[in-house]
């Protein structure tokens, strides 16, 4: 337990809160990597997911890819691409984005798949174009699960960006790797605690966002107690939040 | 390729170590999550608590968990036990939810029939609920096994040897072949474990064999919502 005391002493030491190697700067770096990665992966993953969910094409391939990527060791992939592409920020972001695509893809297409087929058929019967169906029916109804996919992707990126500091890169992983060989456990564990807190805070914010993006129509139906279909669609994370 | 042949012995040794680190968390995760999942399914109050806690545990980045655990367990920094405990925590975090979903997938009418023909609570669990929840449990375990096998490598960053050693050594020596060998070996382990789990499921649950392929759906969408 004295290790924890030392780690907290390190956390509350003002010296660790200043300069380029301070906790705030490293946290900011970590967040920038995460946001840039999520934007890159989001454009690809969500767009592909919408296409698969709307058309039903390529679904088998998507399931296969998301499943097999889970068994790939992140660490090996990261290091392999670092060697192939050279060690720099861009290759690392590319690898992080590749790892972030599967949860985004899965969240998006399963979000659309979870919608009652009759709802989509009704929209088509009313004369909506395919584009209107996607933007006015499918995306709003799938939103909670899409956000849930972004949430898993964000957590994965935060965790993997920590490992990427080994390469070496900036971010919160620096505290761990800079001090590991020096056996300065207070800073190592302190850094690990900061990463954990960051992950928990981001997770909490996404949990709130998931609740906020439930479509107005679904919420109204739920409030009126017509919630059979609505509760069925409730993303798994909503009840865990 | 010649490097792989001449270093096969080392790769094999690391593979054995990797398997040795992977099996305890997978088995422990299963044994602990089944009762916890049952409790979560059975009592609404415990459900939100158990699922929230497991969700939060899964949120902790693996590297952090490996590093913080010694401070909690009193182990040394390089003790493989840290990695085993950390991976067990992840297995639980994933599996408690699957187990709860599995028990929820048992039709209430089937449970009532079992009670009606005279099963006690305990007997009903072993003879009716657990077998019927089986397919969902196997699907959950396949996810747990794949993620365990792939995450064990991260332990090498803090000096717990496994196939991850090949990644670090390959990076330091600027030698992609070594990293590739490690990735391939990891995938081989993951595939062997996956096949073993499916085979075990078929062996223990003969009624699922009738051409009914288990649907691997990670999505939390259940078609049969208990009315």
Tokens linked to A101:
């695509």
Tokens linked to B86:
């950390």
Going by C-alpha positions, the residue among A159, A100, A75, A196 that lies closest to residue B57 is: A196
Q: What angle do CA B135, B138, B139 make, to 5 degrees?
A: 90
State whether residue B104 sits within 8 Å of chain A by CB.
Answer: no
Long-range Cβ pairs for the range A130-138 (8 Å, 24+): A130/A54, A133/A54, A134/A50, A134/A54, A138/A50, A138/A53, A138/A54, A138/A112
End-to-end CA distance of chain A: 30
Q: Which chain A residues touch B63 with a CB distance below 8 Å?
A: 159, 162-163, 173, 176, 192, 195
pLDDT band (50, 70, 90) for residue A88: confident
Decide if pLDDT at A177 tops 80: yes
Going by C-alpha positions, the residue among A68, A75, A62, A95 that lies closest to residue B187 is: A68
With residues binned 3-state (H G I as helix, E B as strand, rest as coil), the percentages for chain B, rounded to 5, are 80, 0, 20
pLDDT in tens, A125-168: 999 999 999 999 999 999 999 999 999 999 999 999 998 888 88
Q: What is the pLDDT, as a whole number, of residue A225? A: 63
| Chain A residues 67-86 with a CB less than 8 Å from chain B | 67, 70-77, 79-80, 82-84
State whether residue B77 sits within 8 Å of chain A by CB.
Answer: yes
| Chain B residues 1-20 with a CB less than 8 Å from chain A | none
Q: What percentage of chain A exceeds 70 in pLDDT?
A: 93
Structure letter (DSSP) for residue A136: I
Is the Cβ pair B61, A193 closer than 8 Å?
no
B51, B164, B174 ranked by CB distance to A239: nearest: B51
Beta-carbon contacts below 8 Å between A and B: 152
Residues 6+ apart with CB under 8 A from B174: A83
The structural architecture, per CATH, of the domain A3-215 is Orthogonal Bundle (1.10)
Cis (ω within 30 of 0) for the bond into A60? no
CA distance B37 to chain A (A): 14
Q: How far apart are CA B159 and CA B142, in angstroms?
A: 27
Quick one: three-class SS letters along A145-165?
HHHHHHHHHHHHHHHHHHHHC
Q: How far apart are CA B209 and CA B202, in angstroms?
A: 6
Q: How far apart are CA B89 and CA A15, in angstroms?
A: 34
DSSP H or E stretch at residue B76:
none
Going by C-alpha positions, the residue among A69, A33, A44, A50 that lies closest to residue A164 is: A33
Is the Cβ pair A189, B143 closer than 8 Å?
no
What does R_g of chain A's alpha carbons equal in angstroms? 21
Chain position carrying tokens 């865990």:
A240
User: What size, in residues, is chain B?
Assistant: 227
| Structural domain boundaries in chain A | 3-215
Chain position carrying tokens 């691409």:
A81
**Positive or negative CA dihedral for B217, B223, B224, B225?**
positive
What does R_g of chain B's alpha carbons equal in angstroms? 20
Q: How far apart are CA A30 and CA B64, in angstroms?
A: 15
Q: Please say whether the beta carbons of B51 and A240 come within 8 A.
A: yes
Q: What is the pLDDT along chain B (227 residues), one digit of tens a residue?
A: 788 889 999 999 999 999 999 999 999 999 999 999 999 998 888 888 998 898 889 889 999 999 889 888 888 888 889 999 999 999 999 999 999 999 999 999 999 999 999 998 889 999 999 999 999 999 999 999 999 999 999 999 988 989 999 999 999 999 999 999 999 999 999 999 999 999 999 999 888 876 545 444 444 444 444 43
Q: Please say whether the beta carbons of B121 and B59 come within 8 A.
A: no
Tokens linked to A9:
């002493």
Distances (CA, A) of B172 to A154, B161, B178, B179: 29, 16, 11, 11
Instruction: Centre a 10 Å sphere on the Cβ of residue A175 and count the other Cβ atoms it contains.
Output: 26
Chain position carrying tokens 């990076």:
B171
Going by C-alpha positions, the residue among A16, A30, A180, A1 that lies closest to residue A92 is: A30
Residues 6+ apart with CB under 8 A from A29: A170, A171, A172
Q: What percentage of chain A exceeds 90 in pLDDT?
A: 41
Q: What is the pLDDT, as a whole number, of residue A1? A: 59
pLDDT in tens, A18-55: 777 889 989 999 999 999 999 999 999 999 999 999 98
Q: Which chain B residues touch A77 with a CB distance below 8 Å?
A: 183
Q: What is the pLDDT, as a whole number, of residue A85? A: 86
């Amino acid at each position: 337990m004295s290790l924890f005391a030392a780690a907290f002493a390190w956390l509350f030491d003002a010296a660790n809160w200043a300069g380029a190697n301070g906790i705030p700067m490293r946290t900011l770096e970590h967040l920038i990597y995460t946001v840039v990665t999520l934007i890159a992966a989001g454009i690809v993953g969500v767009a592909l997911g919408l296409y698969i969910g709307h058309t039903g094409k390529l679904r088998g391939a998507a399931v296969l890819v998301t499943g097999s990527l889970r068994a790939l060791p992140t660490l090996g992939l990261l290091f392999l691409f670092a060697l192939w592409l050279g060690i720099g920020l861009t290759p690392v972001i590319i690898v992080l984005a590749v790892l972030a695509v599967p949860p985004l893809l899965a969240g998006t297409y399963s979000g659309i798949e979870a919608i009652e087929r009759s709802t989509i058929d009704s929209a088509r019967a009313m004369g909506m174009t395919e584009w209107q169906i996607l933007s006015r029916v499918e995306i709003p109804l799938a939103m909670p699960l899409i956000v849930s996919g972004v949430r898993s992707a964000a957590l994965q990126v935060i965790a993997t960006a920590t490992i990427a500091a080994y390469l070496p890169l900036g971010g919160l992983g620096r505290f761990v790797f800079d001090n590991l060989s020096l056996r300065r456990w207070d800073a190592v564990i302190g850094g690990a605690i900061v990463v954990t807190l960051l992950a928990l805070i981001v997770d909490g914010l996404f949990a709130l966002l998931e609740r906020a993006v439930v479509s107005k129509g679904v919420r109204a139906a739920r409030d009126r107690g017509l919630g059979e279909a609505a509760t069925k669609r409730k993303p798994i994370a909503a009840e865990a939040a | 390729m010649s490097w792989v042949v001449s270093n096969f012995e080392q790769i094999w040794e690391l593979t054995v170590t990797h398997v040795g680190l992977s099996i305890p968390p997978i088995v422990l995760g299963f044994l602990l999550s089944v009762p916890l999942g049952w409790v979560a399914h059975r009592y609404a109050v415990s459900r939100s608590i158990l699922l929230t806690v497991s969700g939060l545990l899964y949120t902790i980045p693996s590297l952090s968990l490996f590093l913080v655990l010694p401070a909690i367990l009193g182990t040394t920094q390089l003790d493989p036990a840290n990695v085993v405990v950390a991976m067990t925590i992840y297995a639980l975090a994933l599996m408690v939810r699957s187990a709860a979903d599995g028990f929820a997938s048992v039709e209430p009418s089937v449970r009532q029939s079992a009670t009606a023909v005279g099963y006690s609570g305990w007997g009903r669990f072993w003879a009716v609920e657990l077998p019927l929840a089986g397919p969902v449990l196997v699907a959950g375990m396949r996810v747990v096994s794949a993620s365990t096998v792939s995450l064990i490598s991260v332990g090498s960053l803090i000096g717990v040897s496994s196939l991850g050693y090949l990644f670090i050594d390959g990076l330091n020596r600027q030698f992609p072949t070594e990293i590739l060998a490690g990735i391939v070996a990891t995938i081989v382990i993951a595939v062997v474990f996956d096949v073993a789990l499916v085979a075990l499921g078929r062996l223990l649950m003969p009624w699922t064999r009738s051409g009914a392929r288990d649907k691997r759906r990670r999505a939390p969408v259940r078609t049969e919502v208990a009315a």
